[in-house]
Structure 1
Amino acid sequence: MYSSLLLPSKRCIELHKSSTFRVISVKLLQNESPFRNPLSSSASTVQSDSVLNLLTSYGFTATQISRIITTYPRLLTLDAETSLLPKLQSLQSRGASTSDLTEIISKVPKILSKRGAKSTALYFDFIKDIIHNDGKSSHSSTIIGKQGNKMRNVTVLREMGVPQRFLFSLLVSESQPVCGREKFEMSVKKVVEMGFDPATSKFVQALHVFYEMSERTIEEKVSVYNKLGFRVEEVWEMFNKWPYSLKFSEKKITQTFETLKRCGLGDEEVVAVMKKRPECMRASEEKITSCVETFLGIGFSGEEFVSMVKCFPTCVGLSAENVRRKVEFLVGEMGWELKDVVGIPPVLGYSLEKRMVPRCGVVRALVEKGVMMGRESGIPPMSSVLACSDKVFLNRFVMKHGKLVPELMAIFAGDKRKVKGLCVSVS
């Protein structure tokens, strides 16, 4: 979705003149960000132009600005003159180099939303310490109040091995996991005792759950799952896979369970599906119902859909367009059958552009050159083409073909000019 934001021009000074870029910026504000932009399209464009102008004048590259906008689109609604400029000037006057300024803000643009230049400077210096001094802050211990507390707690997490990208998100977030002292320490202790790896996102997710929910609330959520047929150990097994599984309301948990049953799964099958992929809890009732209609409309039977959900629960969260395009490509363009998809439904989770098209382009080239031996169609089994690692695929279909290797590697690398006979649109 956001690939069109990666601007090819090397002349950053002309960045703000791109009408396409301005339109996409406004659409991000109106449709993609978690709030509704109160400005009209015209006013939003003028305001975003001012922000883009300002960032460009301070030395931000096109890539950095693209990253800022995709990470924090709300920045485009801030007033360039009265909100952003004073903070950038303040940071520069305090000795921030252009390289530090652009690097830190492009990584954590939300610090520019902090109230006042002083607050922004505190966060800027702390983030700089984390990046350049291996997390050993030279000044956070002297800062008092909520900001100092958050910085000290983030330092603790840094020393435990939590990666920078998670630390920065926690630092500037409005949520509470790194606030306070006693509750923070108790939450971290529980997460560690559960065995979560600090280097993973699950550690941070579990920290959110234990910090935001009381022991009584957690017990109530476990009880909800228990009434639906989950054993207590199974509930915690799901939590270890996806900590947010305990954050849903009783209504949402029950609704998802009943919706999956209406899709044709039995009680035990629903339990198995949710245990295997608790993230399917995020799918709404409408999303799951629409998913069923999509699969049946394509030609899968009800039994085949149930079989695919049991093997690949994530498919209930795929969009109708996503499923249709991939099945049309696999069956309509490549000549595999629906039963092949039923046999390995995880293929529906693979990227059409990055995995399916390049690999199938290689296979199609081999078939056209008469060097592919397989079924009557000449196309090898879907699993041998798509369900293996890149290394296995290259050894299986590219490296053994001598003089054809350069051409096949070009196709595999995504040179669309060499992909023949594949009519799918990857735009």
Structure 2
Amino acid sequence: MASSSSKLKPFINNLRRYQNRSLSSSNQSNYRKQILLANLLQRYGFPPSSLQHFLSKNLFLSNSDLSETEASLSILLSLKLPQKQLVSLIQDSPNILRPNFLRKWRDPLSERSVSSSAIKSVLEHSSRFGIGLDKFHECVNVLRGLGFCDSTVSKVIEAFPNVLVVKEIDIRRKVEFLVGIDIHEIERFFYVFPEILGFSVESRLKPLLDEFIKIGFSRDEIKKEIVREPRVLGLELGELPRCLELIKSLKCREVIRDEILEEGMFRGGFEVKLRVDCLCKHGLIRRDAFKVVWKEPRVVLYEVDEVEKKIEFLSNRMGFNVNCLVDVPEYLGVNFQKQIVPRYNVVEYLRLRGGLGCDIGLKGLIKPSMKRFYNLYVKPYPECERIFGKRREDAGVKKRHPVGLWKLMKPPSHVTTKEDVVNMKSFVESLA
């Protein structure tokens, strides 16, 4: 027994060496394949910093034939997708690189005159929900049958890719609804607000119109606002009344309230809704978003992109959480270029050089008046004058009249004569 086991030892050792050599060879082959795959993706613009994470999440790419992956990338390139969109599409929907997926889409998307953004939306939606070519052709034919030009068709598919699964009868119901409220520029409406295709006429759009009338707006006013801004029909039920109640309860200067309502109550309420949506998009819950607008109504007077610029600066540059706005809503009501940026630059300069005794929060940065901030953080440090902007000493006193004008306006002095003195004395003696 011992002799037989001793005879098997050389065979077992050789088998182990062969297995180890095979595993090592397999690992080297996989590693080499991943290197080639990474180089291929980099050639098509994929950022090297995210390659490792991307490949670790999508192991099917390493197991696929490299030539098939390259063929898929070539098809994407032939669809004339910009590099940024191409990379974004692959990152968001890596399944489009599976073999044979793009081959069925290449000719239809090349033949149809749709934009690159619309192509990206179609491919993303198809890879996630398994939408076939028949749905795409049917949707495009329906939209063109309504008389829409290629740019409108592309815009609808890009902004609302769910239109690919909307039935023709439902699309026509939306058209009939718009015609019924005397909206004639149907194509422009769908170009500006294609999301309406996802709303139910009976349970959403008609009750919304009834709510507008119930609030007190006439049909002409409602039509005027819808024509001016089609996104009005995107309001939730009960949303406009809440925005109008907020405006009525504002405790602010009359000039601010008048400016908010300059174009009417309806428009003012809709502008409040847009600012609330903007705040919610960046992380605030709806209740806190309404609270911020109520505390700082000046935010309604700024354009939405200006509000977004302030929030992005707050989060990305200043390092504060967006929830800080609930405690310091004044941040959204001051001028970005004249107040926020210069103050932040001064405080950041002093912090890096150890000139601050403690950290200054958002409240300490925004709340002080211009004069107080200048005296605290700029005046003691001459080098901060250039960062903050040279403060003119006479900026606070605005002269209303030319120098020396008071001399011309001064009344002439009365000269007292001896006769006046005699008359005054006799008057005083008569009183005695």
Q: What TM-score comes out, normalization by structure 2 length?
A: 0.45
Larger Cα-atom Rg: 2
Q: What TM-score comes out, normalization by structure 1 length?
A: 0.46
